[in-house]
Structure 1
Amino acid sequence: MRLQFRVQEFQTEAVHAVADCFAGQPYRRPDTRNAELELDPSRLLANVRAVQERAGLPQSGALACSDAAPDAPNLDVEMETGTGKTYVYIKTIMELHRRHGWSRFIVVVPGVAIREGVRKAFEITAGHFRQTYGTCPRPFTYDSTRLHELERFRTGAGVQVMIINLQAFNSAARENRRIYEELDGFGSRRPIDVISASRPIVVIDEPQRIGSARSLESLSRFRPLMVLRYSATHRVRHDLVHRLDALDAHRRELVKRIAVVGVEGEPGPAKRRVQIREVIRAHLGRERELHARGVKVLSLLFIDQVVRYRDYARADQLGDYARMFVEEYRALTAGVPDGPYRRYLDGISVERTHQGYFAIDRRTGRMVDGDASDVDAYHLILRDRERLLSMDEPVRFVFSHSALREGWDNPNVFVMGMLKSSDNTVSRRQEVGRGLRLAVDQRGERVDGVNELTVVADESYSAFVAALQAEGETGEITDGRRAAARRPAAPKNPVVLADFDSAELVGRCVAALDTCLVVPIGKYTVQTATGERTYDDRAPDSRIDLLGELVARTGLTRRTVCAILTGLRPATFALYRNDPPRFVREVATMISREIAGAPPSASRSADDRTPRPRAGRHHSAVPR
């Protein structure tokens, strides 16, 4: 299966934002070095200001400077994670080549994981760009032991792109100092001199990780013609020429919605087990829904220590989290009824459906805490992204920590589990960003109507959302099904979740909704220079699957949700027409609050306790 790419306006806007800054620069035939900028500073500044005015951005008073390129343009592009940032700068490379003949580019990344993700992006987009531009980039990853590729960068035809991680030229390690040394096997030349002679255009991916004085000084040795910086979270500002922030991305439905499941309770193994159970439960619910549509569902679990997943002191080498996963997975899948989805599950053993991505100790070959990678998981998770998306690939649950925090994403991550305590050194936005990309089916085509990311947090819903929003504007975040972890009754027999008395729960939900539900008619305000106009948005015929949406958001059965809806007063139920999406959100939130406070009952299953609707409150149909 190959991912399919199509030209999208919001990405084209980002490409033109950079390319238009060089309007008036003549086309020069590609050579072994990029032609110098022929625009004087005043013309370049005028171009930058024109682009900024077009985008509604603050206008630069003077061209920004940086120690990475003191006398060259330094342009910033801000794009929310999951909106195709890498695709955009590859297309920008091709556009600059088409317009001006520039053909030598360097993509600088902060680490190996991002480097491999970028290399893969060049590979899978090659055919797409060949159709658009008649040619495609010719990338390679810098390796101090394979300098023949650097010779191709210097003399090769077409668009040459070197991908290099920061450590390869900014580290004191012996192998990384080779870039500054005269090498006998390289004609007694220094690699850095060959690179700088080409006057490359430098693209920095995640520049917030490459901002130290030493890093900037090292970058300046490339003698960049210009520096283009791409990130969702710039820390140091230069000339910002394009912005697609998180709020805009959510409003334009360019990324997944976020639903948070907060797990509150005493820290410890019982709480982690609840989280793992909730991740599996959410995964199976989404997978059951999407299996027939050919959409592979993946879940990503961030953990605190490798030993929690891989414990080499045990005979089976399963850490506590892996052991919990196996037990909870078997328990939750046991009750899946016969049918195509049941047969799909039966074809995948629990041992093969989870995979760890961690550093590997070169001496022992064992997983350890760190930033490198396990060879097998490395190829599957980073290099064989399409295979991970295939229904034929058994891996559906991926365990990791810092190694996948940034630089890797997969469009079909639908569930995330934060199985570690939050701290100030780990960005929630970076972690959540791994699952924001829109999903694809087995043909590699985007799928609409299914794009919601469920995040199972290790803290309350409100605390997690507040911390997430504190790191930057985000789109709408909904309150998913809450789970409560109870203190274990005894060490050998922990009780971590309570069953619900469905009859009482339905009654309390109906009472709460009849009393407190408010859904005003949806309104949109259009502001212009001469005033503003307000439009009502009452939907006479909505195609929302009301039952299905509420089941997915609350975790209740269709029978129980139906009982709640049919128990509502007609006036309450009629609020649906005012604003169907908001009705779903408000009702799901209020039901989730009642679930969080539901008393335990061990006598009957939830499905056996569905109550009879109240007399006089029947509705003939649930709108879809």
Structure 2
Amino acid sequence: MKLKFKNQAYQTRAVDAVVNCFKGQPNTAGIGYRIDPGVEKAKDGKLYQETFLHKGWVDEISGFKNSDLSLNEQQLLENIQEVQRLQNLPQSSSLVKTNVSSLNLDVEMETGTGKTYCYIKTIFDMNKRFGWNKFIVVVPSIAIREGVYKSFEITAEHFQEIYNKKAKFFIYNSKQLHNLESFSSDAGINVMVINVQAFNARGKDNRRIYEELDDFQSRRPIDVIKANRPILILDEPQKMEGKKTLDSLKEFNPLFVLRYSATHKTQHNKVHRLDALDAYNQKLVKKIAVRGISVKGLSGTNAYLYLESIEVSRQAPIARIELEIKQDKRIKRKILRLGKGDNLYDKSNELDQYKGFVISDINAVTDTVEFKNGIQLQAGEATGDVNEIVLRRIQIREAIKAHLEKEQVLFHQGIKVLTLFFIDEVAKYRVYTDEGEEGGEYARIFEEEYLDALNELIKDSSIKDDYKKYLESISVALTHNGYFSIDKKSKRMVDPVTKKTSTEADDVDAYDLILKDKERLLSLKEPTRFIFSHSALREGWDNPNVFVICTLKHSDNTISRRQEVGRGLRIAVNHLGERQDNPSTVHQTNVLTVVASESYKDFVAALQSDISESLSERPRIANEAYFTGKVLSVDGENVEVTPQMARQIYKYLLKNDYSDDNDHITQEYHEAVKNETLAPLPEDLEPYNNQIFQLIDSVYSDVKVLEIENDRGAKTNPLNDNFEKQEFKGLWNRINRKAVYSVKFDSSELIDKCVEALNKELHVTPLEYTVQRGIQVAEIEYEKIKSGDGFEILETSNAEYGAKSIHSAVKYDLIGKIAESVQLTRRTVTDILSSIEDSIFEQFKTNPESFISQAIRLINEQKATVIIEHLSYDTIAETHDIDIFTDSQSKQDFSKAGDPLKRHIYDYVITDSKTERNFVTELDTSSEVVVYAKLPKGFSIPTPVGNYNPDWAIAFKEGTVKHIYFVAETKGSMSSMQLREIEKIKIECARKFFDEINHKINPENVKYDVVDSYGKLMEIVR
């Protein structure tokens, strides 16, 4: 299997941010210079010239160093400020210098978003634009070094296709200095990867870089390196900030330094930011779910109990509880499936500690079991005799269960699932004795628990045969493996060698397979699915298909929760090496489950705290000052937010309770975003809709850091007896149709409609400038200065730019720009613009950007109208498979479910908004409703703007209403002004779809409409 790479916009933005800092730098290929040839040495009474006699090089050896920066500090600063301004980052007031370099650029990229890929692409881009060709990647550990080297290997072909050249790369080794000579003498792209220990440690090999070496013609390797004026790329620079390390880096004589990390400790000139929240919101990393395990102390009892989970069945919820059972002369712990009324004293074969433990209630929504003695357990809680090894067994069991649950789904998509166990010593996994090697304690527990889980799964009739066959083909001994350092003499697994002041492994041979053979691990033919490794493995290994992480070690402060989950954040790939990043399904496929040795609540609180600390640079206040001057990119053009626009945005937030009295973003805003019920922006701000909401989302909010799911809250929601009712079958038989659409219209009609709309509605606001006169306040307070309130504004005046706009000198491809955005031919766009009134077209000179964006919006609206008017559906023989009702109900989040329902086809329904929750409550208690269903996502109607999935299908009691069969779309607002254009198009397409199927099955029609409440629904059906 080969990993496949593609150009991604977010990674290109990171590359451009760095490269654009050098705008104006001439493209000069590597500058030639004479490499110090060293001196001849006597050996065995003979003179020889080291290394190069066989190449014919004696006195003159040409090297190619990076050309110097031709930009002065002011030009560099202006470029950096422009890059920062376009990304709405805080602007640097000066170049931040260090003893390593006078130019230091910070690139912040969240773990799992491909920062290694980005700096490799940056290397190629800088070579293409500026001719620079000598780069050194410095890393803090052996593990990261091996991971970086692997990235250069697997991306080589990809970058050759883009740039038509390959980079030469090597790992620095003081005993293989011919690589360093080649690094200097080659005119192509050359990259050295080096870990800090190679030049910053006291060992004999590490000191060689600073010594005159006989086998290097009496030269010092560091002198050969510095002659190249290399560009330094620091990977995880926060781990390389010791004085000794920085002093050593200075010896490299870098042209400048690029620093890549998700967690910069020291700030320099930040030119790009993609933090944890950005990465999650843009769906660039996996979604995180947590399966917590905690120990609960119960006074007055020593009964061992562990509530694993609660299952939803057709009859009533079932609790999976582990308890002790008396068997002959021993006591064994076993998981039983128990229901309401079950007596644990009886189930345990009359063990006294379980007297009084009779189940009185099982709640599938809150994941709790209550006993008649008043004791309550939450899923994931254990009580009684729970020591560390019991806790570890539970963790291993839960990790296996989480793995198998994910694998059942992803196996059929060709996606390999990997689970990663972190342990604190090799002996827990592998034990070596005089007799040989055997599994350690954790390995034995794993095999016992895996076989139990496997046997239970094989018996399950709902599991597909091809997956069962896959499981049965893998030996339990081969499906787990340990990746640790290997002692070269004994060939045994050993704990990594670490310095007393570090938890980073320094072993050169550490993690070979896990770091170098990631493609093999991703193959479904490779039996290894469960990986045990040392907790010292932190940064460095980034296999994309880790779906479960379980930490079987004592908690410490050296590794944060964020670092623990970081090894599994990358987006998964399938068996063809294709990244599974479809925006509509990415967070359904890519969910990382963390099995924690603490409660869900405690783990999430700690993780949220880690993430919040990493977001410390985000703005906290959404006031006018924050929005003013920000840059909005619309159709490739940049527009600066004026004070007037900033005031409109600020008032919009206040009016809709999206910000509070302290100008913090509120929960109401985040709920509206989630439910797609955001109030529309003022009309003149609509062209900048997406960019304005991105600015609002950039403001840090305590109420929404990152959504982290409770993995135990997710469970299967089986169909109940309502699904078998004749009324539902009648409804389903009427709507279970697939269709294709066609659109036929005359372009002259579209042109006429566009001309009419532009003449009537295109109004461009003249560009204005604002002059503010102010004075520094008499008493300056630190907080005022920090918030920008150190000056008092005395007067503000606004004026229009003159007839000659400041943009009038900019050349625009007006026809091309509009044609590209509305997806019409240049001829059609020309016909539209040439037919509008002269006074309307004259507005282009007043404000070109506004004219273009408004014209695009109006033409697209008319295009949508014409499509709807001329769209028709034709039903086809194909229908929806009944499986869409079961496939969509696996692993649902029951925290969003209400009470058990009476008339729905499932016992529980997962609602997305308050409108839906209220709607369900009234449907379920209505005497007119026989049965109803939240339609699964598999039931979709094709439209020109994407597939559409209606919300509800309802069957009413005959004789009570006019329309027996009804399909409803629930929206928080009925006003067409409140609906987004794309929603309106989909709704109109749905009306035509149901008109078509009604025509086929007349007279028993299915009514379709949009409602905002049960009351509105009843108005329509009566």
**Common fold, TM-score beyond 0.5?**
yes
Q: Say whether 1:41 aligns with 2:73.
A: yes
Higher mean displacement: 461-470 or 193-202? 461-470
Q: Which amino acid aligns with 1:74?
A: N
Alpha-carbon distance in 1 for matches of 2:590, 2:90 = 33
Matches within 5 A, 1:494-505: none
Say whether the 8 Å CA contact 2:893–2:910 is kept in structure 1: no
Q: Identify the residue that residue 592 of structure 2 maps to in structure 1.
A: 453
Q: Which amino acid aligns with 2:712?
A: R
Q: Which amino acid aligns with 2:605?
A: A
- Structure 1 unaligned segments of length 5 or more: list them: 484-499, 504-528, 530-543, 588-612
Alpha-carbon distance in 1 for matches of 2:178, 2:205 = 16
1:468 to 607, 613, 626: 607
Q: Identify the residue that residue 708 of structure 2 maps to in structure 1.
A: 477
Alpha-carbon distance in 2 for matches of 1:226, 1:56 = 24
Q: Which amino acid aligns with 1:552?
A: K
Q: Identify the residue that residue 577 of structure 2 maps to in structure 1.
A: 444
Q: Identify the residue that residue 576 of structure 1 maps to in structure 2.
A: 911
Q: Identify the residue that residue 551 of structure 1 maps to in structure 2.
A: 890
Identify which of structures 1 and 2 has the higher relative contact order when contacts are C-alpha pairs closer than 8 Å and 6+ apart.
Answer: 1
1:98 to 128, 142, 150: 128
Q: Say whether 1:333 aligns with 2:454.
A: yes
User: SS state of the match for residue 400, structure 2?
Assistant: helix
For each residue in 1:93-146, what CA deviation from the matched residue of structure 2 results, as whole angstroms up to 9, or x when unmatched?
A: 111111110000000001111111101111111111111111122111111111
Q: Which amino acid aligns with 1:45?
A: L
2:92 to 60, 81, 88: 60
Q: Say whether 1:277 aligns with 2:397.
A: yes
Alpha-carbon distance in 2 for matches of 1:552, 1:234 = 37
Q: Identify the residue that residue 549 of structure 2 maps to in structure 1.
A: 416
Report how far residue 372 of structure 1 moved: 5.1
Say whether the 8 Å CA contact 2:127–2:189 is kept in structure 1: yes
Alpha-carbon distance in 2 for matches of 1:546, 1:248 = 34
Alpha-carbon distance in 2 for matches of 1:374, 1:52 = 40
Distance 1:374 1:174, change over 3 A: closer
Alpha-carbon distance in 1 for matches of 2:221, 2:257 = 20
Q: Say whether 1:215 aligns with 2:245.
A: yes
Alpha-carbon distance in 2 for matches of 1:112, 1:453 = 26
Distance 1:196 1:546, change over 3 A: farther
1:432 to 565, 577, 581: 565
1:255 to 264, 285, 288: 285
Higher mean displacement: 276-285 or 442-451? 442-451
Say whether the 8 Å CA contact 2:897–2:908 is kept in structure 1: no
Q: Which amino acid aligns with 2:523?
A: S
Report how far residue 151 of structure 1 moved: 0.8
For each residue in 1:312-360, what CA deviation from the matched residue of structure 2 results, as whole angstroms up to 9, or x when unmatched?
A: 2486521111111010111101133371111111211111111112223
TM-score when normalising by structure 2: 0.49
Q: Which amino acid aligns with 1:576?
A: T
Say whether the 8 Å CA contact 1:19–1:92 is kept in structure 2: yes
Q: Identify the residue that residue 349 of structure 1 maps to in structure 2.
A: 475
For each residue in 1:481-505, what CA deviation from the matched residue of structure 2 results, as whole angstroms up to 9, or x when unmatched?
A: 179xxxxxxxxxxxxxxxx9x99xx
Report how far residue 569 of structure 1 moved: 7.8
User: SS state of the match for residue 421, structure 2?
Assistant: strand
User: SS state of the match for residue 154, structure 1?
Assistant: helix
Say whether the 8 Å CA contact 1:77–1:241 is kept in structure 2: yes
Alpha-carbon distance in 1 for matches of 2:283, 2:170 = 34
Say whether the 8 Å CA contact 1:481–1:553 is kept in structure 2: no
Report how far residue 422 of structure 1 moved: 2.0
Higher mean displacement: 225-234 or 311-320? 311-320
Alpha-carbon distance in 2 for matches of 1:250, 1:426 = 21
Higher mean displacement: 8-17 or 418-427? 418-427
Distance 1:567 1:279, change over 3 A: farther
Alpha-carbon distance in 2 for matches of 1:577, 1:157 = 59
Q: Which amino acid aligns with 1:346?
A: E
Say whether the 8 Å CA contact 1:139–1:160 is kept in structure 2: yes
Matches within 5 A, 1:180-329: 180-265=210-295, 266-313=386-433, 316-329=437-450
Q: Say whether 1:150 aligns with 2:381.
A: no
2:105 to 75, 87, 107: 75
Higher mean displacement: 153-162 or 471-480? 471-480
Q: Identify the residue that residue 26 of structure 1 maps to in structure 2.
A: 26
Q: Which amino acid aligns with 2:481?
A: Q
Say whether the 8 Å CA contact 2:483–2:513 is kept in structure 1: no
Alpha-carbon distance in 2 for matches of 1:577, 1:467 = 27
TM-score when normalising by structure 1: 0.80
Alpha-carbon distance in 2 for matches of 1:396, 1:292 = 16
Q: Identify the residue that residue 387 of structure 1 maps to in structure 2.
A: 520
Alpha-carbon distance in 2 for matches of 1:120, 1:472 = 29
Say whether the 8 Å CA contact 1:545–1:623 is kept in structure 2: no
Say whether the 8 Å CA contact 1:34–1:102 is kept in structure 2: yes
Alpha-carbon distance in 2 for matches of 1:428, 1:233 = 13
Report how far residue 406 of structure 1 moved: 1.1
Report how far residue 546 of structure 1 moved: 8.3
Higher mean displacement: 317-326 or 305-314? 305-314
Report how far residue 412 of structure 1 moved: 0.7
Report how far residue 550 of structure 1 moved: 5.8
Q: Which amino acid aligns with 1:44?
A: L
Q: Identify the residue that residue 399 of structure 1 maps to in structure 2.
A: 532
Alpha-carbon distance in 2 for matches of 1:301, 1:105 = 36
Say whether the 8 Å CA contact 1:421–1:458 is kept in structure 2: no
1:138 to 144, 168, 171: 168
Q: Which amino acid aligns with 1:288?
A: Q
Report how far residue 169 of structure 1 moved: 0.6
For each residue in 1:168-212, what CA deviation from the matched residue of structure 2 results, as whole angstroms up to 9, or x when unmatched?
A: 010000011111111111111111000010000000001111111
Tell me the number of residue pairs that the alignment of Structure 1 and Structure 2 aligns: 532
Alpha-carbon distance in 2 for matches of 1:225, 1:158 = 17
For each residue in 1:500-524, what CA deviation from the matched residue of structure 2 results, as whole angstroms up to 9, or x when unmatched?
A: 9x99xxxxxxxxxxxxxxxxxxxxx
User: SS state of the match for residue 890, structure 2?
Assistant: helix
Distance 1:477 1:121, change over 3 A: same
Higher relative strand content: 2
Alpha-carbon distance in 2 for matches of 1:452, 1:380 = 25
Q: Identify the residue that residue 802 of structure 2 maps to in structure 1.
A: none
Report how far residue 554 of structure 1 moved: 6.3
Say whether the 8 Å CA contact 1:55–1:242 is kept in structure 2: yes
For each residue in 1:377-422, what CA deviation from the matched residue of structure 2 results, as whole angstroms up to 9, or x when unmatched?
A: 8332111111110111111111112342111111111111121232
Q: Identify the residue that residue 935 of structure 2 maps to in structure 1.
A: 623
- Structure 2 unaligned segments of length 5 or more: list them: 32-63, 296-385, 459-463, 497-504, 613-704, 719-767, 769-882, 937-1022
Report how far residue 621 of structure 1 moved: 3.3
Greater C-alpha radius of gyration: 2
